[in-house]
Structure 1
Amino acid sequence: MKSKYLFYSLFIGSVIFGASSCTKLNEEFRGELEEGTTNVGADGLLITAYSSLLVPYQQDQRWVLQEISTDAAMAPTRGGDWDDNGIYRAVHLHRWNADNAFMNNTFVSLGTTIYNATNVLRFNPSKQQEAEARFLRALAMFDMIDLYGIVPIREGEALDDFRIAPKVLSAAEGIDYIVKELNEIIATLPNGTLTSAFVANKNAARTLLMKIYLNKGTFLNRQSPTFDVADMTQVITLAKAITGTGTYSVAAKGKYFDNFAPNNDAVSSENIFTLYNENGKRGGAVDRTWNTIAHYNMTPGGWNGWCTLSDYYDKFGATDERRGIYYNYPADTTNNKKLEYHRQNVGFFIGQQYDWKNNKPLMARNPANTPLVFTREVTIRTSGATLETAGIRPLKYAYDYSSSGQKNNDWVVFRYSDVLLMQAEAVLRGGTGSSTVEALAKVNTIRTNRGVTPFASLTLDNLLDERGRELYWEGWRRQDLIRFGKFLEPFQEKPTASDPKYLVFAIPSQQLAVNPNLTQNPGY
């Protein structure tokens, strides 16, 4: 359980990932070990490396690039709100350039994780600590390759001398580096349990390897992805190894949202690797998942921002648990639970919303006489009477009412259902070691447990849609659409096909200015 691990509250200055920005890592670590010791060495540095991932992953930065660039999510400008100089619109409409703030912030955050993880290796870590740090570095490098097509890394003298520019690996070089790293450390990583999924483990490494092999041909040729039989067979072999541990199972009916609950470390049957959040210990702004979508008058009030699109919502059937249910969980302290109103509190919020204090219909704030009815209709620029109500609002992480501070939901990075869906995809793409019958059965286990009719057959098209339903707003949609050849196509509120240059993000201008080893991606 969480309380049995060693935790620090660490505050660390950002590492500027370029060469000429000679800002040193702030070494004033203010940490306290639970047991009372204040010795900050490899232990503290490792926690810093873990914590580095919280900002890009938890519905910010990396998440924005992976989801708002697709049909799954949009951050409409609502009058004067959510404009931010058009950075959200640019991501959704595929009109970004090298000066977009999300390009740079994500680049820096992932680069900081790579640096922080590498830094652990210099402070005499145990074998397991070393393996954990190398896993975290591999994960951030994978994201860099996915988003930017390259990965900078500081090693050797460049770790100490910020006048030396980080070297830059191509996609092919980065893939080889990551695969070698993971294969070297996998035996040293712990086996992993459902209650300690926030610790890098063997199955997390296997899942990352699956994603590398599945996407390898896409990363090397995004316009015309290839799927080598040997790579697809590796995906299947790794999936079978994960299943063979007997650790995980697809969440039972009614339990899908256990994977994202405030106590998901205790109740999830699927989570393979998560990012740690616990009030009073450490964590990040996982409550962004609520704040970004909730209206001001909901409980608690949010920022009335992001939404999904009706075309995406319509992929879900009426009986699909993932679309939304009343979820009974311990951290719900509202009258919605205590007085048994049982209004939907997770999933996609659409239509009239209700006050969970008194079960009365909620009203908008301005104009105050407008019922708070979330509508299917939404435009990327909203105004007038629909300013506060336009758009269907998704929520996967049940709000933690039991905590007045840091929310306790651990952020899900890898989940067992994703493993099964990747295995099925690898079968359809020619991998050996599993049959189409087995692949169909695994996908139908997921569908049955979510309350929908099993597929009669499995195709790449219905598998992509199933990934969209199962993994919505988890940060994989862009990667999936690119691999399936769909990312450039028009979608709701992006009416035209995109230039192929948008299959990879621009190298941020700020990074080009400080690292002479970087070269801008074609077309930018």
Structure 2
Amino acid sequence: MMSFRKIFLVTVLGSVITSCSEDFLDPELSRSKDFTTSVNTIEDLQGLILGAYDRMNASTYYGRDYVVFAEVRSDNAFSNGNSGRFVSPGQFVVSATDAYADDTWQQIYSVIANTNIVINSQIEGDETDEVQYVKGQAYAIRALAYMDLLRLYGQQYTGGNLGVPIVTEFKNDNNKFPSRATVAEVWNQVGEDLEKAAAIMKPSLDSGSPTEMTTSAVFALQSRYYLNVEDWQNAAIAAKKVIDSQNYDIAPASEFAKSWSVNEGSNSVFELAFTDADNLGNTSLFYIYHETNYGDIEVTSDLYDSYDAADVRKTVYTDVEGVIRTAKYPSFYDNVRVIRYEEVVLNYAEALTHLNDPNALTYLNMIPQNRGASTYAIANVDNVLQERRKELAMEGFRFFDLMRYGRDIVKVDQGQTFADGGISFGSPELAFPIPQRELNANPNIEPNQ
């Protein structure tokens, strides 16, 4: 049965898009397309926001690929090549013609296209709190999309300063071929979008569902953003707002394993909903992670052995004759957690660590205390990174956490297929290539090395 969400999305988009095909929602970055539409009501805007969520669900974004990229390009996991998937990312040899580079680029920019329409639309009652709330959601989603593009394709880890093109209008005849902004400019865009979202979204309008971008989700994203730009004070402030809301809980040890099969749990700040209509089937995280399906992604013994025997997190892995896999995402229909409360707590602990705040250790230890694991004697960067690794493993964080601290990618398992010496921080292999299709279409865009 088609969900209400799907019916609403189809109905609204059907009424909004009156004289052009649906592919206007999936523009290539540098290609000018006619866009004739009538966005008149808040329902129209809400339909476009639902479209943005649906595009984030795609297997080429949070539905699978973006999550897996951060794991196979780290010390957490590798591709065994069972079905030939994720081999080139795991080897750090993605080329400009590789579908991984091209598909994820296009998908994230299609999300941005939806948000740009919402942000730039002028409708009746535009200044009402309800309309501004929807536009705030669009700003926050756009911020997340640019953060994700920059972390994957930007040169900040390779010694360069080029980021990605910043597009803030659906169609701009005066800038059909945008150049790459600098890394700093893209980070500034992310920060400004999040500030705008926080300023115009009223908490009283939050739905209470983590499947929508709420004010708490905006603050959580701000804490993630500020960690990336090393603004520890503002990272702490943003994370504390989520903590002080008292809307969320750390999943206790007794519930941790089960929490992965429960959608909209009390530890979820923002997740992407997967209904019957969203079922990604053999392109899902479930299919790529689990032995009964493709099972291409194996967990390194180094990660598995990092857990204490009594740590409940060890129960969400299977070890069959030395082949280790995660049991997170146990079915096709599990929502993908983009922000868990546990991340926010660890973001706060990390920020406090840099601020030399004595409360850092208290918050750092809140996670292992709820996992049956050993606690830490001190709060330092190495311990924060270790706890983030154990708590957030296989969820799309590890590569980016290592990069934030200028760490090398170390080969810890013979199943990993990159060079024995690892990948040094600063290597050009750490940035995904700009897709060849984009290079061919846009004369102003520069490739990565």
Query: 1:480: Cα distance to partner?
Result: 0.5
Report what 1:383 is aligned to: none
Report what 2:177 is aligned to: 165
Q: How does 1:495-506 map to 2 (within 5 A)?
A: 495-498=420-423, 500-506=427-433
Is there any run of 5+ residues in structure 2 with no aligned partner, and where?
15-21, 155-162
The 8 Å contact of residues 15 and 24 in structure 1, kept in 2 or not, is answered as: no
Q: 1:3 to 1:503 in 2, by over 3 A?
A: same
Query: 1:28: Cα distance to partner?
Result: 13
The 8 Å contact of residues 65 and 102 in structure 1, kept in 2 or not, is answered as: no
Residues 1:215 and 2:228 aligned together: yes
Residues 1:274 and 2:271 aligned together: yes
Tell me, what secondary structure is at the counterpart of 2:68? Answer: helix
Candidates 296, 303, 307, aligned match of 1:305: 296
Of Structure 1 and Structure 2, which has the larger fraction of its residues in helix? 2
Candidates 272, 277, 287, aligned match of 1:291: 287
Query: 1:491: Cα distance to partner?
Result: 3.2
Report what 1:369 is aligned to: none
Q: 1:396 to 1:319 in 2, by over 3 A?
A: same
The 8 Å contact of residues 197 and 272 in structure 1, kept in 2 or not, is answered as: yes
Report what 2:18 is aligned to: none
Query: 1:115: Cα distance to partner?
Result: 1.1
1 CA distance for matches of 2:369 and 2:206? 25
2 CA distance for matches of 1:190 and 1:323? 40
Report what 2:330 is aligned to: 398
The 8 Å contact of residues 61 and 108 in structure 2, kept in 1 or not, is answered as: no
Query: 1:271: Cα distance to partner?
Result: 1.0
1 CA distance for matches of 2:153 and 2:353? 28
2 CA distance for matches of 1:305 and 1:203? 35
Residues 1:145 and 2:150 aligned together: yes
- Specify the code of the residue in structure 1 equivalent to 2:344: V
Query: 1:475: Cα distance to partner?
Result: 0.9
2 CA distance for matches of 1:323 and 1:475? 18
1 CA distance for matches of 2:43 and 2:240? 39
4+ long deviations beyond 6 Å: 2-6, 25-29
Q: 1:233 to 1:320 in 2, by over 3 A?
A: same
Q: How does 1:105-254 map to 2 (within 5 A)?
A: 105-123=103-121, 124=123, 126-149=131-154, 150-156=163-169, 159=171, 161=173, 164-191=176-203, 195-216=208-229, 227=230, 231-254=231-254
Query: 1:287: Cα distance to partner?
Result: 7.9
Query: 1:102: Cα distance to partner?
Result: 0.9
Larger radius of gyration: 1
The 8 Å contact of residues 250 and 270 in structure 1, kept in 2 or not, is answered as: yes
2 CA distance for matches of 1:396 and 1:488? 24
Query: 1:116: Cα distance to partner?
Result: 1.3
The 8 Å contact of residues 54 and 275 in structure 1, kept in 2 or not, is answered as: yes
Candidates 362, 366, 370, aligned match of 1:449: 370
Candidates 311, 325, 350, aligned match of 1:425: 350
2 CA distance for matches of 1:413 and 1:26? 33
2 CA distance for matches of 1:5 and 1:106? 23
Q: 1:488 to 1:289 in 2, by over 3 A?
A: closer
2 CA distance for matches of 1:174 and 1:484? 19
Tell me, what secondary structure is at the counterpart of 2:434? Answer: coil
The 8 Å contact of residues 312 and 371 in structure 2, kept in 1 or not, is answered as: yes
2 CA distance for matches of 1:244 and 1:3? 33
- Specify the code of the residue in structure 2 equivalent to 1:198: T
Query: 1:503: Cα distance to partner?
Result: 3.0
Q: 1:4 to 1:187 in 2, by over 3 A?
A: farther
1 CA distance for matches of 2:50 and 2:174? 23
- Specify the code of the residue in structure 1 equivalent to 2:324: I
The 8 Å contact of residues 57 and 274 in structure 2, kept in 1 or not, is answered as: no
- Specify the code of the residue in structure 2 equivalent to 1:90: S
2 CA distance for matches of 1:256 and 1:287? 26
Tell me, what secondary structure is at the counterpart of 2:144? Answer: helix
Q: 1:184 to 1:304 in 2, by over 3 A?
A: closer
1 CA distance for matches of 2:281 and 2:185? 34
Q: 1:98 to 1:68 in 2, by over 3 A?
A: same
The 8 Å contact of residues 194 and 272 in structure 1, kept in 2 or not, is answered as: no
Report what 1:507 is aligned to: 434
Q: 1:397 to 1:27 in 2, by over 3 A?
A: farther
1 CA distance for matches of 2:179 and 2:168? 8
Q: Deviations over 1:101-158 (max 9, x none)?
A: 21111111111111111012344362111111111111101111111122323345x6
Report what 2:17 is aligned to: none
2 CA distance for matches of 1:445 and 1:193? 27
Q: 1:518 to 1:147 in 2, by over 3 A?
A: same
Which moves more between the two structures, 94-103 or 242-251? Answer: 94-103
Q: Deviations over 1:39-84 (max 9, x none)?
A: 9722221211111111244452322322221122222123xxx226
Is there any run of 5+ residues in structure 1 with no aligned partner, and where?
30-37, 217-226, 297-301, 325-346, 352-374, 377-390, 401-406
Query: 1:465: Cα distance to partner?
Result: 1.6
- Specify the code of the residue in structure 1 equivalent to 2:290: A
**Identity of matched residues, %:** 24
